[in-house]
């Protein structure tokens, strides 16, 4: 069995969406043991967007059913989409799964690029119509840099949770088993996750 770690390193030089909190780490050593003080945002690094990120009264990260974040997943290679992922990139590729992870040219990039690939409103509508309950992407956001929030609201408002800033650079297109669990942050709108794929569609 092959296991892919699709989580980006969480460090001070992590890819950061403008306006997000720059992660900071400070080691505290008392001579017997050490601990690390951490400062980071709920959407730092590879992370989940809970519905409450955009939807008033929506589920917070601790309320999302964990079964949504564990199970069969399909990686779609959409690297040919330079800026916008349209319905044509997804057509005929969504059947038979509840989790879709979109691989783009941004995978493995170490610096923010405002031209990162993102989902068009029409593609978001297709995702919702297909009954997808978890949508992931390797870009900093599912929505364009100059967005109005409509794609987030459509997906999160329909119950589709979002994973962003995955690292799919080493993962071929195909079907996998995914685990992507957030911290149990009470009332939070998001959380860093540790996301992995195994090359089996059943729980390893």
C-alpha 7/C-alpha 167 separation (Å) is 6
Of the candidates 72, 138, 58, the one whose C-alpha atom is nearest the C-alpha of residue 102 is 138
The arithmetic mean of pLDDT across residues 63-89, rounded, is 95
| pLDDT at residue number 11 | 86
With beta carbons less than 8 A apart as the criterion, state whether 33 and 135 touch.
Answer: no
What sign for the dihedral angle of Cα 153, 117, 50, 72?
positive
The arithmetic mean of pLDDT across residues 59-82, rounded, is 96
C-alpha 5/C-alpha 180 separation (Å) is 10
Which structure tokens are listed for 68? 């949504």
The arithmetic mean of pLDDT across residues 82-100, rounded, is 94
Is the pLDDT reported for residue 30 higher than 90? no
How confident is residue 180, by pLDDT bands cut at 50, 70 and 90? very high
3: left (phi over 0), alpha (psi -120 to 50) or beta: beta
Into which CATH architecture does domain 3-8+41-198 fall?
3-Layer(bba) Sandwich (3.50)
C-alpha 76/C-alpha 47 separation (Å) is 19
Q: Supply the Cα-derived Rg of the chain in whole angstroms.
A: 17
pLDDT digits (tens, 9 = 90+) for 127-146: 999 999 999 999 999 999 99
19: left (phi over 0), alpha (psi -120 to 50) or beta: left
Active site residues: 53
How confident is residue 57, by pLDDT bands cut at 50, 70 and 90? very high
Q: Classify burial at 17, counting beta carbons within 10 Å of its beta carbon; exposed 0-12, middle 13-18, buried 19 or more.
A: middle
Of the candidates 49, 43, 51, 47, the one whose C-alpha atom is nearest the C-alpha of residue 21 is 43
Is the pLDDT reported for residue 19 higher than 90? no
- pTM beyond cutoff 0.75: yes
How confident is residue 204, by pLDDT bands cut at 50, 70 and 90? low
| pLDDT at residue number 201 | 64
Percentage of the chain exceeding pLDDT 90: 85
Bridge partners, residue 103, by sequence: 77
* Residue 8 CB-half CA count within 13 A: 31
């Amino acid at each position: 069995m092959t296991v892919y770690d699709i989580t980006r390193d969480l460090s001070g030089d992590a890819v950061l969406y403008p306006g997000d909190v720059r992660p900071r780490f400070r080691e505290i050593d008392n001579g017997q043991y050490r601990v690390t003080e951490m400062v980071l945002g709920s959407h730092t690094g590879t992370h989940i967007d809970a519905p409450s990120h955009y939807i008033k009264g929506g589920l917070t990260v601790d309320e999302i059913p964990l079964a949504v974040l564990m199970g069969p997943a399909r990686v779609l290679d959409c690297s040919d989409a330079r800026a916008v992922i349209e319905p044509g990139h997804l057509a005929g590729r969504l059947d038979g799964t509840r989790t879709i992870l979109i691989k783009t040219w941004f995978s493995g990039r170490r610096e923010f690029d405002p031209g990162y690939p993102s989902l068009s409103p029409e593609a978001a509508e297709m995702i919702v119509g297909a009954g997808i309950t978890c949508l992931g992407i390797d870009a900093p956001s599912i929505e364009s840099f100059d967005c109005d929030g409509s794609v987030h609201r459509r997906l999160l408002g329909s119950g589709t949770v979002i994973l962003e800033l995955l690292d799919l650079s080493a993962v071929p297109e195909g079907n996998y088993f995914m685990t992507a669990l957030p911290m149990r942050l009470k009332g939070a709108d998001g959380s860093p996750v540790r996301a992995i794929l195994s090359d089996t569609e059943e729980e390893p």
